[in-house]
Amino acid sequence: MSEEANVQGPVMIAAFEGWNDACQAATNVVRYLVKRYESREIRHIDCDGFYDYQVARPMLCHVSGRANLVWPQTTFYDITLDARRHLYAQIAPEPNYRWMEYCSQSLHIAEELDAAQVVTMGAMFSDCPHTRPLPVALSDGTHQCECDREYNGPVGIPTVLDMAAADRGFSHASMWVSIPQYLGSDDCAAGTMRLLDALGKRIGFTFDTTELKRKAEQWKAQASVLVRCNDQLGEYVEHLERDYDLKCKADEEAGLGTPQCEQLVREAEAFLRQMGE
């Protein structure tokens, strides 16, 4: 898929906490945009009927000496990027029940807002090195990334919402960033920044990621310290780096369009699949 799509009209992005959100990289896209740009809450979806409160528990907080319960909910924001452009953002814990009804309500709100496109975002743990740009998989209604073409298995609410958007006639896309699985579950600013870069290319806008760049460098430095302290982990990361570089080289040569290069890509992909088995 070409990352630089000509998107006319406002876009609604959606990210969900939980299984679909390794290191909070996807939902932190929404949080970062809300913090960095002028934004306001414009819609909500009532939590009743969609959540198991033993899984997504309400939170107790004290404000001005009074105790308040904060229930899980879906919030929609209107985010002003500049004088001519804004986007909508949906953020929520992944619902536990009635996904199709939930998606229907979400898309009804997108229709009310006259959104031109729905873009779902997710983050997944994967075998990739922290020393290279984190892989981003992008798919839309006409182009699917390789992982989408070959994957068979369980999915989360972003995939269901994306498919529901397609059925409802929306222009739609999904973006997933891979996070090194050996680094645990701390926030990953590098993953958030990669999703923002991909979104910016798609809508033709350059986001201010100055704060994220600093945090991403800190994340990378901390990961490198961890790797240096563990010889076995260091060997594993070197293996991931070789695989990553081989795949990048094959993709680059395939861009020349020769049959030999296409064969090289197939051989490289087959090799990587064997290494993962």
CATH of the domain at 63: 3.40.50.10900
For residue 265, pLDDT over 90 is answered with no
Q: What is the pLDDT of residues 203-214, one digit of tens each?
A: 999 999 999 999
In a domain, 97, yes or no: yes
Task: Indicate the number of domains in the chain.
Answer: 1
Task: Report yes or no: 199 and 119 within 8 Å, Cβ to Cβ.
Answer: yes
Residue 202 lies in a domain: yes
Of the pLDDT bands very low, low, confident and very high (cuts 50, 70, 90), residue 145 is: low
Range of the domain at 68: 11-208
* Residue 17, strand partner residues: 93
Residue 35: pLDDT band with limits 50, 70, 90: very high
Note whether residue 179 is domain-resident.
Answer: yes
pLDDT score of 126 = 95
pLDDT at 2: 40
Residue 111 falls within a domain, yes or no? yes
Contact, 14 vs 77, CB < 8 A?
A: no
CA nearest to 241, candidates 133, 119, 161, 89? 133
Residue 8 pLDDT grade (very low, low, confident, very high; cuts 50, 70, 90)? low
Averaged pLDDT score across all residues of the chain: 89
The answer, yes or no, to whether residue 273 has pLDDT greater than 80, is no
Range in 8-12, 45-49, 215-219, 271-275 the model is least confident about: 271-275
Cα separation, 100 vs 55, whole angstroms: 20
For 116-144, what is the mean pLDDT? 91
On whether residue 268 sits in a domain, the answer given is no
Given this model, what pLDDT does residue 144 score? Answer: 64
pLDDT for 110 equals 97
Residues 147-196 pLDDT 10s: 566 778 899 999 999 999 999 999 999 999 999 999 988 899 999 999 99
Measured CA to CA, the distance from residue 168 to residue 141 in angstroms comes to 12
- pLDDT above 70 for 142: no
Sheet holding 117-126, edge to edge: 38-45, 74-80, 86-93, 11-17, 117-126, 171-180, 136-140
Residue 248 belongs to a domain: no
Q: What is the pLDDT of residue 65?
A: 85
pLDDT at position 36, please?
Answer: 95
pLDDT of residue 277: 59
Is 2 inside a domain boundary?
no
Q: What is the pTM for the complete model shown? A: 0.85
Residue 217 lies in a domain: no
Query: pLDDT band at residue 140, thresholds of 50, 70 and 90?
Result: confident
